[in-house]
Amino acid sequence: MLNSLFRGTCAAALISAGQMTAAADWSLDAGSSKLAFGSIKKDTVGEVHSFESLTGTVDSAGTVRVAISLPSVETFIDIRNERMIKHVFKGTELAELTAQVDMAALEELPVGDTTLTDVEGTLSLLGREIGVETEMFVARLSERKVMVSTNDMLFLGVEEAGLTEGVDILQTLAKLSGITRTVPVTARLVFETDGETAQAVPVAEEITQVTAVGDPVKGKKVFRKCSACHSLEEGKNGAGPSLHGIVGTASASVEGFKYSGAFQEADLTWSADALAQFLADPKGVVPKNRMAFRGLKKEGDIANLIAYLVQEG
């Protein structure tokens, strides 16, 4: 059901996320998240739609709130969008999911691990409070990012959601012989936080986690993108500093290398998580740095490269 999806997604996301940073609030990454639903008209024509605007948070107490902008519905036909907003959603601006999750309910997920979890919550939609249970797939992408998705296809009953009258009007206006009254729904929600972890993972343990997730053999190939400027040989600097033993060290600490002001002011410790964030977005983590490197786009490449750095360091 649509509600089960929303509620389940968020709750699951932060049952696991909560263990990672119990003192920090989590926010929905709208650009990486998607809520989609399908419809079938005239018994044979299937179409996919979505909501383009989602916002959400999970606070340190485990309270989940996700807002779905109903006017952001996208069916790829303008007149149908307008009719759904007016007749199906009746001009209502938001549907809201709320749930309470136990931040200590699940054992902390290592980076790269996944789990399945049963969750429950409430969706407020057109004046109705709908409670549902569902199973969600949770993946910990990094120390500060969690992805949650529907594990199975969910279905929204039009009557259950109070949408029958609006769908009847759509069918009449479009002169259709029929519109399905059970709607399949899927979701992918990504939550992230900028907060500090409540309990920092010791470097030795973090290294163990990274090497378990990443493949140093594949990481050696990824390192080719770095080798023009960096060496893994201790004391051998090039256009960039040596990366020998970098995991666990302070930024701008390699002897004999002249760092830019941006790195001198960064005050970072190159934990595996900090490296992962930097490798994904160098300019975002250290603004105004002089590196030509624009970052790695694939999570797998990042994990593999860090595993290689650990192995060679």
Q: Which of 121-125, 199-203, 210-214 has the lowest mean pLDDT?
A: 199-203
The torsion region of residue 266 among left (phi > 0), alpha (psi -120 to 50) and beta comes to: alpha
Selected residue with higher pLDDT from 260 and 312: 260
Exposed/middle/buried for 43, CB within 10 Å: 0-12, 13-18, 19+? exposed
pLDDT band with cut points at 50, 70 and 90 for residue 5: very low
CB 15 within 8 A of CB 119: yes
Domains in the chain: ranges and CATH: 2-192 (2.40.128.110), 203-312 (1.10.760.10)
Question: CB-hemisphere CA count at 13 Å for 200?
Answer: 10
- Distance separating the N- and C-terminal Cα atoms of the chain: 50
Residue 18 has what pLDDT?
Answer: 39
* Mean pLDDT for the stretch of residues 259-276: 87
Q: What is the pLDDT of residue 117?
A: 80
> pLDDT (tens digit, 9 = 90+) per residue, 69-122?
999 999 999 999 999 999 999 999 999 888 776 555 444 778 888 888 877 888
Q: What is the pLDDT of residue 213?
A: 64
User: Average pLDDT in the 260-281 region?
Assistant: 88
Residues in CB range of 307: below 8 A, 6 or more apart: 210, 211, 213, 214, 215, 216, 219
Longest dimension (CA), the chain: 77
pLDDT in tens, 148-171: 888 888 888 889 889 999 999 999
Residues 48-72, mean pLDDT to the nearest whole number: 87
Q: What are phi and psi of 252, to 5 degrees?
A: 55, 40
Q: Residue 137 — pLDDT band, cuts 50, 70, 90? A: confident
Among residues 160, 305, 308, the alpha carbon closest in space to that of 222 is found at 305
